[in-house]
Structure 1
Amino acid sequence: MSEVTVKQLAEAVGTNAARLLKQMQDAGLEHSSEDAAVSEEQKQTLLTHLKLSHGQAEGATRKITLKRKSLSTLKAGQGKGRAVQVEVRRKRTYVKRSEAAGAATGETAEQAPRVASQAQAEIERIRSEESARQSAEEETRRQAAERKAGEEKRRETALKAQEETEQQAQKLEEKQSATPELTIEEQVAKAAVEAQVEEQSAERGGRRDGKDHHKDSADSRFSDGGGRRELSFKSNVRRTKRRGGRVEQHGGEFERPQEIRQREVEIPSMIAVGDLAQRMTVKAGEVIKTLMGMGVMATINQTLDQDTATLVVEEMGHTVKLISEDALELELEESLKIDEGEGTIRPPVLTVMGHVDHGKTSLLDYIRKTRVASGEAGGITQHIGAYSVEVGDNRFTFLDTPGHSAFTAMRARGAQATDIVILVVAADDGVMPQTEEAVQHAKVAGTPLIVAVNKIDLESADPERVKNELSALEVIPEDWGGDTQFVNVSALTGEGVDALLESVQLQAEILELKAVEEASGRGVVIESRLDRGRGPVSTVLVQNGTLRQGDTIVAGEHYGRVRAMMSDAGEHMKEAGPSTPVEVLGLSGTPEAGDEFSVVSDERKARELVEFRKTRNHDRRLALQQASKLDNMFANMAKGQKRIMNMVLKTDVRGSLEAIVQAIALINTDEVAVNVVGSGVGGITESDATLAQTSEAVMFGFNVRADPSAKKVIERERLDLRYYSVIYELLDDVKQALSGMLAPELREEILGVAEVRDVFRSPRYGQIAGCMVIEGTMFRNKQIRVLRDNVVIYEGELESLRRFKDDVNEVRNGLECGIGVRNYSDVREADKIEVFESTEVARTL
């Protein structure tokens, strides 16, 4: 805005120029004539001076405010006797006029009529606002009476009232906020009017009770306070606490809808429906409903694959995080990584393999100077034995594996955990099936072979035959241009044993076997068993690092702290280095033979890893059971019900248990099978006997015995308990039991054949066929078949057999006879009648 003169400014604000000129001089402005120019800064200075003179400066106001409150009750029309409490607040303000305001009274006397008209207009505005407040209060009461109409109606009413209140409050706030947007002239005029109104208010004093009520009630706003809503346009209204009275709760308040929380769901390769629902924090029924919508019928325990679970999670609005089963395993591998560096030379691990009774244990006995073979049941090894042998300055670790066919898995584990395989072949027996299998295991594992041709002290020994037969298996001797050492030995006399050990040492030097001793111990479980006095005992082979007493180890699904370690000779050890077999006490159970073990520093991490492995293996077994149940259901629908023999099997060591279970699985057929309902390592307990009773199972004990409590249950319930010490005898009894469960086979034997020469009728028997016996003998009361052109057209029973007029029981070959066929009258000439007999023959596996 451009500069104006004092006269123009006086006309704009509605006052005379002389009075405005005097006020400008009081404000310190140097204006002496009406034609002097007034700038924006000078206008602002004049406005500040007028505000100060009217008592609006900070700290200049001296006023006393009295507040009064009254309560009344309003009957609600539709509230069934309920009342709404109404609170009315009054406020009265007393202002002490300053001397400057008193001096200004004389100056504003001549402007009183015009100022009074402006004040009256201000009062009219306040009254209109009061009427608006009253209408808002009536609207609020009406809404309060209608809140009982229903939940949805109350919500809509609350929303509508809230919107109306916000609109009214916004309009009144816009009116109040419009003051700073006024021009300088309008602000000066309003300041003058407010000064005049304050003077008149102070003069009238107590005559303005009613007006103060209207004015103050217009200075309130709607606010939620114990079921009451008030209208207030001030921002500094203080809420007073209601004393007594009933606070009305607004049950129909609007609630903002909650947003469904999106979760990141981890999905392994297999997961049960219940576990998937738990990870999404929803009920299992919702997951099942989603699966049904996708066309999949499932139960809460059903196992889902990763793809199906991913579709379900995405369908329910969550994000998917695919996790690998081996995540924890890889983390363990990463933590156990060691710097190989300059490893030290370690002793070689040798596995003795070969056919049964070819002298493996006897050869090892001669090297160890012990008598292990004589202590084995049946003279054959039935579990892996680990021995550490010192020969001169060299130390060797031997693994003696079983030789008969039931222990294929043991030989495979022995080949994987070894450095060199010593293949023992009897010179008088040659290559046998398990010899071929040992060669295959060694080739798969990439392990070098040394062939020990045993029993050369016998007269029937033929070492060259062994070389020829092994060469057919691509095992070529060195003197034939191959890379396999052949050593002739005798475990009985010791001939050639030193040469065998020299060959082993030479092969170990070629391989340059090294290991790091100063590292966490790692290795493989050779065997495990449950000792009655010591608990779970595991034979482990340390392959790298050092295993110390007190270390926490993880082996398969079990973990624990090493409480004690013993060598193969029974001596206590504090630590075991690479290539050392030891017996470990302290694990939580008996791990599977072939499981790897590792030393971990954190027991909590060990427990977490073991729980993960248990859960993973349980899910896999559950999935296999579900699949097998489905397969069995369809198989049983297609053919007759399969006959099952339940078995409870207890063995002395874990390796024997695995071997027996695998051998039994090979015996099973489509008609009969063995179901191992319970198995384990250790003696037969009362719980095993109870399990056998409930499942109607036969109990088999391999190198174990039943405890006294189990014997009482077995005698009382008359259960079938069998003890074995040789695996062949156990398998033979299982085959015999299964053979007895097989349905007998029906075999037909043709006894005789007669050719029809003529047909005539008999008043007693009806149609009679005159026949000539051409094969065998015809018997009375036997089953017969009628053949026409070598095609069976009828099968029935021979009713009468006569020779001439006499009834006979049989007619031999070359004789004539008359044959009556029961319930058949279509016999023709040239037909053949054969007599046969059906017999049941027991089947065997």
Structure 2
Amino acid sequence: MSDMRVKDLAGTVGITAERLVEQLNEAGINVSKPDDLITEEQKQSLLKFLQQRHGKAEDSDASSPRKITLKRKSVSEIKLGGAARGGKSVSVEVRKKRTYVKRSDTEPSGAAEDLLKQKAAEEHAAEVTKQEEQRLQETKRKQEEAARLKQQLDEQEAAEVAAAIEAENKANEEAQRAAEEEQKALEAEAKAKKPAAKGKKKEEELTPSQLAHKKLEEADAKRRAANLARVEAEKALEAKRKAREEEEALEKAREEAKAAAAEAQAKEQKAAARKTKDAEAKHERGKSGRRGRREDDDFERKELHVSEGKGGRRKKKKGASGGRVSVRDQEHGFSKPTAPVVREVNVPETINVSELAQRMSVKAAEVIKALMGMGTMATINQVLDQDTAVIVVEEMGHVAKPIRENVVEEALQVSDEELGESVTRAPVVTVMGHVDHGKTSLLDYIRRTKVTSGEAGGITQHIGAYRVETSRGEIAFLDTPGHAAFTEMRSRGAKVTDIVILVVAADDGVMPQTIEAVQHAKAAGSVIIVAINKMDKPEANPDRVKQELANHEVIPEDWGGDVQFVPVSALTGEGVEDLLEAISLQAEIMELKAPEIGPAHGTVIEARLDKGRGTVVTVLVQQGTLNKGDIVVVGQEYGRVRAMFNEKGEQVDKAGPSTPVELLGLSGTPAAGDELQAAPDDKTAREIADFRHTKAREQKMAQQQAAKLDDMFNKMEEGDVKTLNVVIKGDVHGSVEAVSQGLQKLSTDKVKVRVVGSGVGGINETDAQLAAASDAILIGFNVRADNAARKVIAEKGLDVQYFSIIYDLLDVVTKAMTGMLEPVFRDEIIGLARVDDVFRSPKFGDIAGCLVLEGSVKRNNPIRVLRDNVVIYEGELESLRRFKDDVNEVNAGVECGIGVKNYKDVKPGDQIEVYERVEVKPTL
């Protein structure tokens, strides 16, 4: 039954019958009492009426939700710490909640909000308009008041000026009238008197004119005084007028400031209203699910006025009260200079265009323009010399100040006043000679110590510096295993060595290293004293030594030369005293002197890094005194001398000239041969060390960039060329020369032979070390390696070849060169198959049913797929079957199934070519 009574419906919906009757009447359904019947159509009408009253659209479904909330949760892991250190994983759970509201539910409220916003905007606009009108009226009133006051002041000033001018005219008229009356009176008096004599009458006539002239001058003075008074009055009026104008300008500035403040306040209110409006619009867009700007957004750039303390994250000093402009100021802070700015520019020896422009505070383009005007084409990175840079600076109106690069090091230069008087110093003696000729053993006997026993293999491994007390006085000895550091020191101009003792074994004679030692000593300009050692052996022959050295221009004194020859024996001590006497005599002849008072200056003999003590530097002091605690600069390093030790390992507090010491405290390890200089303070030492380090780096970069174009092409050509390094030792010089020339003729475009070292004699330890450093092959032609060399060869795993026939040597080297060539591979076709059909396999995919036409097909060989005799794919066989059996090889004329690895586009008619790669032996 579709009809029901009102009270039954009220009981169903849970309200009173009287309330339901009222709602029915409001909905336009004529019902008067609870017992009346209502139809189904009337109930639907009541439902629509109630839905419209509660803001729901007519066509919306009552059961549809108005709001949907979605919740999402995602879990991820973050790994903390490294895996090698046992890192752990942390689970991170992210929860997201998003609410969707039906648009129809928001439209009525949105319309109401729009009405409210429009009304508020209209009220705000009316208020702003009213304030603007009041401000304009107030400004107009003040302007009228100011004009009225100005008019009154102008009228008063005009009256004062007119009165002053009238007073001046009146005074002038009175003065003129008085002068005329006096003139008339004088003339009448002159006519009335009768002269007594002719000369006296002439005198009486001149007197009245003079008096009249005097009266005129007095009248002019009065007139000038009146004019001066008028000028003073005008100046006073001008001052009053200027003061009044300044007061008016100040008042006008105050009015403009008030107007600007009012305008700023209005803009702030307008911006706040716009911000509120934009926020509401953004909220409205968020409800409607749209992003981006509204169509009615104002795209103009506006100034944002914010209150003090809310203008961003930066905290500025508090200024005047009120808001401030946070986006951009009304005026920039740059004021145009009234005169050209002239700067003093420091110009070093070299400077590029960019840095020069920066020092003049101009753009690099202007410097380039100036250079082009001078006829020089330059780029922004072009390096200019000092003269050109000075001309450019002066051309652009600045003052150039050339500076020297070594001006920093001038602080280390010691004047003659700082150095004391020169005193006699001990000689510095360097012991040189061939290996195992007894250099260190001779020093052992002199020092009465056993230094040799502490060295590896009984040979000197480091440079030693000793100061020895003898009966003839103190002598500083330097014992060095090689000559590289010695030559380096000589090239730096440091006079480290005064006397060179050349040790030659009497039983061995002059050896190659002996000749090298003679050459080094002569290049250094040092005095040579020859010590003929091992005189205790029965096979000793000193005359042979003299003869061989005479061939190298070392002439003994008894042969008419100037070189002392002293026969000694480091084992028995024979002749050692004679050697010390020869050294003392030579030192007296040389008159060695050096200042003892003043800043220290010396040379690094040796430097090493000690694990416990840090940098340990052996220094030979040459002049001055080095004290504990001094600030020193050594090459590119600097530091304070924390401790000093003598040759006995005892700690000392100071070291004078010709004294070798070990010092601690430098910032790094210097190079052998670097100069030591005392610095006045730590700051100067640091600046000098940094300057030297920067200069060395720049020189290194310049050397790297100095490669010419030809060198670049040569390096490009040699990039793919292999090099075979060899070290050659032979029995005679002719054999070594022949082997070297023969090996160099073997060089080709692919492999080149480079002889890194050659010599006459057996293969020694030096040759082995050279071969290890240069990755070379050791070749002995009729010679063998000694025990020390064999030890190095075994440790380094060097390749040593001995030959007695030159042809065998050339053949072996040719094979070695061939072995250095990269292998060459060639593809050789072993089979060809034609695809007749394609089958589908669930395991291998497409299987090509083929017939082998030529050769044989082998599994796991590389293949090529040909279509119309064009290679379309290269790969390898994945499967090879004969019927259902896997096979490794299928010969010609047999059908088979071929599966191509990672290729699915095989079609009937294709050809599968099977090949293998064969290595071909390369040739030179």
> TM-score under structure 1 normalisation?
0.49
Structure label with greater radius of gyration: 2
- Greater RCO (Cα-Cα under 8 Å, separation 6 or more): 1
> TM-score under structure 2 normalisation?
0.45
